[in-house]
Amino acid sequence: MKSTTIALFTKVASLPSGTKVAELALMSGSDVKDKTRYLNGSFIITKKTKGIDEVVAAIDASTEEKLLVEVEISNLFAEASAFNEKTYINYKGLLNSIVVKPKKTSE
């Protein structure tokens, strides 16, 4: 199953196995106080991932730490991880495509 959503892209990381992943925070809606909620995760980049080179170039040229992107992900799943005696949910999947969302201009 494929999912398309808006996300915040921070970087491309390499796992110990050599696999490259995109660090993303998928926007998942908002809570009762209108605070945006995110699903944080690492999504596998393959030779077939469309747009990754353009996004990496855009973040390198930007003064921002994160870029707003639109992504298509296959096989999205969650995995529990423990850190400092707390349990966190990290999301994983296959990154099919990624595109920088243009900033809205106020007119």
pLDDT tens readout for residues 9-67? 999 999 999 999 999 999 988 778 888 888 999 999 999 999 999 999 999 998 888 99
pTM for this one?
A: 0.85
Residue 56 lies inside a defined structural domain of this protein: yes
CA 32, 9, 12, 19 dihedral sign is: positive
Residue length of the chain: 107
Residue 106 lies inside a defined structural domain of this protein: no
Residue 58 lies inside a defined structural domain of this protein: yes
Q: How many domains does the chain have?
A: 1
**Is the pLDDT at 86 greater than 60, yes or no?**
yes
- CATH code for the domain in which residue 92 is found: 2.40.50
Residues 77, 63: Cα–Cα separation, whole Å: 32
Q: For residue 86, what are the domain limits?
A: 2-100
Residue 24 lies inside a defined structural domain of this protein: yes
Q: Which of 36, 45, 52, 48 is nearest to 99 (CA)?
A: 52
Bridge partners (DSSP) listed for residue 4: 72
Residue 68 lies inside a defined structural domain of this protein: yes
Confidence category of residue 1, pLDDT binned at 50, 70, 90: confident
**What pLDDT is recorded for position 19?**
95
Angle formed at CA 103 by CA 31 and CA 66, multiple of 5 degrees: 65
Residues 33, 13: Cα–Cα separation, whole Å: 33
Residue 60 lies inside a defined structural domain of this protein: yes
- As a whole number, mean pLDDT of residues 88-97 equals 93
Residue 105 lies inside a defined structural domain of this protein: no
Residue 8 lies inside a defined structural domain of this protein: yes
Question: Looking up tokens 């992504």, which residue turns up?
Answer: 71
Strands (E), the chain: 2-14, 20-30, 36-50, 67-83, 86-100
- As a whole number, mean pLDDT of residues 64-92 equals 90
